[in-house]
Structure 1
Amino acid sequence: MLYRSHEPEGYQCPFCELVNDLPFTEYNLCAPSDLIYQTELVAAIMACDGFGNHGGHVMIIPTAHIESLYELDEATGAAIMRETQRVALAMKIAWDPDGTSTRQHNEPAGNQHVWHYHQHVFPRYWDDQLYRQLRHRVPVEDRALKAQQLRAALFSDAHPQRLRDADVIR
C-alpha cells in the first residue's frame, strides 16, 4: 500500500463541521463566517492562519471528507481546480494583489496538519516573503471581512467566471 491515513482515531474534522453546519468542537479554529460559498462538491473558506504581513488566504476543500490528494476522485479534483481559478480571479477583483499562488500538502512530512484535503490560494504581493514566514492566527473579524469582499467579487459582473445563485448551495 502506498498510503496510510494519518487521521487520529476519533478525529473531529474542523472542515466537515463547517461545511455540514455541525456544532464546532473546542479545537476547531474555523468560524461560520469563514465559509465564502459552497457548491455540491467543494467549498471555499477563509483560512484561520495568515503568513507575513498579509493575513487572509482561501482554502478550497471538498465537501465530502477526503483526507488527501491520494484519495481525490476525478470529479472533485476538477471542481477544486475550477474553484481555485475562480477564487484567484476574485482575489484580483477584490484585493488587486500583484499575483496569486496555490499550494497543497499531504501527510505530516508534507506539512499537512488538517486531515481533510485543502488547496491553499494566496494573494501575492511584491516582497511578501510568503515562503519565509511562520503562520499566525488571523482574527475572525478580519477573515469575515475578507470573505465578504471575495463573495462580492465572485458574484460581480466584472468576474469572467462569476458565480450564480444556482451554483451555490450556501
Structure 2
Amino acid sequence: MTPSYDPDNIFAKILRGEIPAHKVYEDEHTLAFMDVMPQGEGHTLVIPKAPSRGLLDAEPATLAALIASVQRVGRAVKKAFQADGLTVFQYNEPAGGQTVFHLHVHLIPRREGVPLKRHEGGMADNAVLAEHAARIRAALDAAV
C-alpha cells in the first residue's frame, strides 16, 4: 500500500511560500523552480500545485496540466542553455528513486559528452541559481 500524501513535504512548503525557491514559471496549476542540488546547469523542477504524492495517485487533469508545463518549461530550459538535448526524469516511490514525495519532473539541459552530476552533490550557489532562473524566464518571455 502506498503511503498518503504528506502536506509537510518540502515542495508543499515551497508552494505555501514557507521555503524560498528560484521560480522560473507559475500558472494556476503548476510551478517550476531551480533544483538546489542540480545534476547539470539549468536543472529545473516542475510540480503540480495539487497535492499528489506521485504519478500513480495524481488526477488525470493534474497530469495534463503538469505535462503541458513540462513541455513549455522544457523548451525554455533547452533554449536558455543552448543545449543539444533535454533529459526528463520522474521518479515514483523509494524503490523508483523518489526522495521528495510530491509529484515532480526534473528537466536537465544536456550537451553531448557532458555527464550528469550526482544529485547528492551538495547545494548550488544561490547566485548561480538566480542567474539560471533569470535565463529561463527570459527564454519563456521570448517564447510568448
After TM superposition, the score normalised by the length of structure 2 is: 0.89
CA contact (8 A) 1:16 1:64 kept: no
The residue number in structure 1 matching 2:63 is: 77
Q: Does 1:41 align with 2:17?
A: no
- How far apart, in 1, do the equivalents of 2:4 and 2:115 lie? 30
AA matched with 1:106: N
Larger radius of gyration: 1
Stretches of structure 1 that go unaligned for 5 or more consecutive residues are 25-30, 163-170
Q: Which residue of 2 aligns with 1:5?
A: 3
> What's 2:87 paired with?
101
Q: Give distance in 1, aligned partners of 2:78 and 2:55.
A: 27
Moved over 6 A (4+): none
State the distance in 2 between where 1:101 and 1:48 align.
17
Deviation at 1:6, TM superposition (A): 6.9
| Cα distance in structure 2, aligned partners of 1:14 and 1:93 | 28
Q: CA deviation at 1:55?
A: 3.4
SS of equivalent to 1:69: coil
- Flag structure 2 segments of 5+ consecutive residues without an equivalent: none
- Please tell me whether the aligned partners of residues 46 and 56 of structure 1 are also in contact (alpha carbons under 8 angstroms): yes
- Alignment partners' CA distance in 2, 1:111 and 1:19: 22
- How many residues are paired up? 142
Q: Percent sequence identity over matched residues?
A: 30
The alignment's TM-score, normalised by the length of structure 1, stands at 0.76
RMSD: 1.8
Residue equivalent to 1:19 = 15
Q: Deviations over 1:149-168 (max 9, x none)?
A: 11111011xx2xx3xxxxxx
SS in 2 for 1:117: coil
Look up the SS of the partner of 1:87 in the other structure: helix
